[in-house]
A = this chain, B = another copy of it.
Amino acid sequence: MSEDKKKEIDKKELKAKIEKATERLSLLERQAREAKIPILITFDGYSAAGKGLQINRLIQAMDPRGFDVYAGGKGGEEAAMHPFLWNYAIKTPADGRIAIFDTSWYRFVQKDLFDGKTKESQLDDAFYDICAFEQQLIDSGMVLIKLFLSISQKEQKRRFEKLEGSKETSWRVNSNDWKRNAQFEKFEKINQNMIERSENKEAPWVIIDANDGDQAGLAIMLAVAERLEKALADRAKGKKAGVYKGPVPEKDQYKYGILSKVDLTKTLEKSEYKEKLAKLQKKLEKLHSELYRQRIPVVLCFEGWDAAGKGGAIKRLTSHMDPRGYKVCPTPAPNSVEKAHHYMWRFWNNVPKDGHVAIYDRTWYGRVMVERIEGFCTEDDWRRAYKEINDFEAHLSHSGAVVLKFWIDIDKDEQEKRFNERMINPAKQWKITDEDWRNREKWDQYEEAVNEMIENTDTELAPWIVVEGNSKYYARIKVLKTVVKALEEKIKEVEKADK
């Protein structure tokens, strides 16, 4: 048989295999959708490895109503002003949907590293954050498929030249691409290191030899099909993929904890309050401008008993700040879109950009309070959440953010007094509902949960501040003082680093 003849037969065989794989994938995609499995597929690798072509091939097998392709994963200016995982976290798929990234968060530790935008000193944190992020997605039941498309230095050069040869495609190749081709070995090492440091047996890297486009296409389809098949089989068996489990405490370990030691007798006179408030608000106004200039993001979290005075404290905090530089993010019960996503997703959407302040009125800590107590998630879910939350906050902090968390504390009598006031005052009646009274009955359960929460999530990067709240004046001043001090310290730190 002649060489040509053989090639032709091989090509025909390959085509038949691709057709079969397409059919198989098509069926699996539908089944995964019906089983409400969220799927995230990332394409990383070398420039000109044919990602666009391969993604298009893959999606031809899928119903267009089931997936989203995110291109330009490199982000642009919005992404550059956020923690590097942000641009992807906000695009993670809802239950039953597929998200395909043509570049993923790995860009930060790959091309951006080669190009000098990411510093070597950032790598440890970055890999920690990446691994933690992926584990969270996996533990929530998401199927994460990481594809790495590899081509040789010679083939890449050939493709660059071909692209540059036509005016329609020459814009696709830039000087950084050529630089990485010239220093191929250096870039290869970065890739190897990246793959080693981010291995996860539940989401293993799939290395695709992309020198031959058709072969690569088949390999990708088979890899995706295999993972979907496994996920469907696991679901059918009710098996949860390698869920990280948090530590389980002794019985009653948190019955008496940090909350039982709060000195709620602390107070402040009105005249002193007014004087201090004016001074601190003036300071904060200046600091707010300064942190905008220095591009420091700030995350302020408010939790506390119903009627503890979160709203009032937030009002005093913001009343002299420029509204174009801060955002108050309330946390009502999740809507249907939010419910279909990872529980952190809706909070990711409000992560502040550099120089901005996000104030969360109730937060992701709902996971380990109301969701735990009302049974809106499983015990595994909320036990896992302590670490997930710490990891999320660490990522914010690694990205330069100030993160502060306030628990505003009052005692049961004070709450009853305030509830009754609300019932009587027509201007405040809307603030009090039957649910508030029902929650009150679960005071002890909540106290135990809060003790455990603070114990497990009070970190150096994102500390809890317990605020004595029986006196509103005292509480508001303590919040303002704490914020002012933290901002002053951060600004000093940044100024020092800039020198």
A: residues with CB less than 8 A from B are 23, 26-27, 30, 52-53, 55-56, 59-60, 63-65, 68-69, 71-72, 76-78, 100, 102, 167-169, 171, 286, 289-290, 293, 311, 314-315, 318-325, 327-328, 330, 332, 335-337, 361, 427, 430
Contacts and interface: CB of A to CB of B under 8 A. Distances in A.
A277 to B, nearest CB: 14
Contact of A30 (B53, B323, B325, B430): B430
A36 B450 CA distance: 35
Contact of A52 (B72, B324, B427, B430): B324
Contacts of A102: 323-324
30 contacts: A23-B427, A52-B322, A52-B323, A53-B322, A56-B318, A56-B319, A56-B321, A56-B322, A59-B323, A60-B315, A60-B319, A64-B311, A64-B314, A64-B315, A65-B332, A68-B327, A69-B327, A71-B324, A72-B324, A76-B77, A77-B77, A78-B78, A102-B323, A102-B324, A167-B293, A168-B286, A168-B289, A169-B289, A335-B336, A336-B337
Most buried by B among A290, A323, A324: A323
Contacts of A322: 52-53, 56
Nearest to A361: B64
A100 B324 CA distance: 10
Contacts of A171: 293
A345 B69 CA distance: 21
Most buried by B among A72, A324, A327, A336: A324
Nearest to A329: B64
**What is the oligomeric copy number?**
2
Contacts of A169: 289
A55 B102 CA distance: 40
A168 B290 contact: yes
A327 B67 CA distance: 10
Given A314-B64, A335-B336, A361-B65, A55 B323 contact: yes
Nearest to A26: B427
A427 B22 CA distance: 13
B337 A335 contact: yes
Given A27-B427, A168-B293, A361-B65, A71 B335 contact: no
A430 B319 CA distance: 56
Nearest to A340: B335
Nearest to A287: B168
A60 B68 CA distance: 40
Contacts of A53: 322
Given A64-B314, A337-B336, A430-B30, A325 B71 contact: yes
Nearest to A64: B328
Contacts of A328: 64
A27 B426 CA distance: 10
Given A76-B77, A168-B289, A323 B64 contact: no
Contact of A336 (B30, B63, B336, B361): B336
Contacts of A68: 327
B56 A330 contact: no
A30 B431 CA distance: 11
Contacts of A26: 427
A323 B289 contact: no
A26 B30 CA distance: 50
A352 to B, nearest CB: 12
